[in-house]
């Protein structure tokens, strides 16, 4: 199986890191395309062994599974370009509207922080990273396999006076829950903003202008004459000059 990414930004970089770390697919079986080959994420992908090119169409030809890892407002242009090259064998996955970088990067940040803690206490970096990843993986599997509330599972693993409850106390003192809630909130807000931009790409400038004008005319005390509206059109700079007879 070969995997392709249209776009080589943060989303693609995070997914590739996750796939390769989990052993889902080898980096040499992944191709990513980006018009800008000087991006830090492009250098990161190449360092991992990913084949990064500039042609979206070539990426499609090299891939069985294709991830659209670009901003939502870019999607229509990408589809216009690669549409003729899509075949029945292709599985298309859009990361634009549904998968946010926040959900991926928060997990990586947590693992990185846990690894830093392990290194501080004397563990080799590689081992610390693996232990941090296994901790998150184990917690996630426990939650998915159980019908218990996360809070109940937390209580189950906290022995009275033990190390876990002491660690949780430090996390709560630092506002850990609030930070996560705020991170989820800003990720959702930004996703909606990007979706709005994508929707605007589908609306003609004339329609946007008419919608804006209608909103202005609905305001109290605003008349059509005040904004230069005439039966023959709209003047953006005051009243239009009368036509000569």
CATH number of the domain residue 87 falls in: 3.40.50.720
* Mean pLDDT computed over every residue of the chain: 77
**8 lies in the same domain as 89:** yes
**118 lies in the same domain as 166:** no
pLDDT band at 226; cut points 50, 70, 90:
very low
Average pLDDT over residues 113-142: 84
212 lies in some domain: no
Report residue 115 as tokens.
Answer: 């690894």
Q: What is the pLDDT of residues 193-213, one digit of tens each?
A: 777 776 665 555 555 444 545
How much is the pLDDT for 163?
Answer: 80
pTM higher than 0.75: no
Please say if the pLDDT value at position 183 is more than 80. no
What's the domain count of the chain?
Answer: 3
Query: Which CATH number fits the domain that encloses residue 116?
Result: 1.10.3730.10
- Structural domain span for residue 136: 102-148
By three-state DSSP, how is residue 8 classified? coil
Please say if the pLDDT value at position 69 is more than 70. yes
168 to 116, 145, 157: CA distances (angstroms): 17, 23, 11
By three-state DSSP, how is residue 33 classified? strand
141 lies in some domain: yes
β pairing state of 30-33 and 91-94: unpaired
Burial class (CB in 10 A: 0-12, 13-18, 19+), 225: exposed
230 lies in some domain: no
Please say if the pLDDT value at position 99 is more than 50. no
Query: Strand order of the sheet with strand 3-6?
Result: 51-53, 30-33, 3-6, 65-68, 91-94
How much is the pLDDT for 37?
Answer: 86
**87 lies in the same domain as 10:** yes
């Amino acid at each position: 199986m070969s995997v392709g990414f249209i776009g080589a930004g943060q989303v693609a970089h995070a997914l590739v890191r996750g796939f390769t770390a989990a052993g889902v697919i080898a980096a040499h079986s992944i191709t990513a395309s980006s018009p800008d080959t000087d991006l830090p994420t492009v250098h990161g992908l190449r360092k991992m062994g990913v084949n990064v090119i500039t042609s979206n169409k070539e990426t499609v030809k090299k891939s069985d599974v294709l991830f659209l890892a670009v901003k939502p407002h870019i999607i229509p242009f990408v589809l216009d370009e690669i549409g003729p090259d899509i075949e029945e064998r292709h599985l298309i996955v859009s990361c634009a509207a549904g998968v946010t970088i926040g959900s991926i990067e928060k997990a990586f940040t947590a693992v990185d922080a846990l690894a830093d803690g392990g290194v501080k206490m004397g563990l080799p970096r590689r081992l610390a990273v693996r232990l941090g990843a296994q901790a998150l993986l184990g917690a996630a599997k426990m939650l998915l396999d159980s019908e218990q509330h996360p809070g109940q599972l937390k209580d189950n693993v906290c022995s009275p006076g033990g190390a876990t409850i002491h660690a949780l106390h430090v996390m709560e003192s630092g506002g850990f829950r609030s930070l996560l809630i705020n991170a989820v909130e800003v990720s959702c807000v930004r996703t909606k903003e990007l979706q709005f931009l994508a929707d605007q790409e589908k609306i003609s400038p004339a329609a946007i202008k008419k919608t804006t004008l209608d909103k202005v005319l609905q305001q109290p005390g605003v008349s059509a004459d005040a904004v230069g509206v005439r039966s023959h059109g709209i003047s953006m700079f005051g009243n239009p000059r009368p036509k000569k007879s």
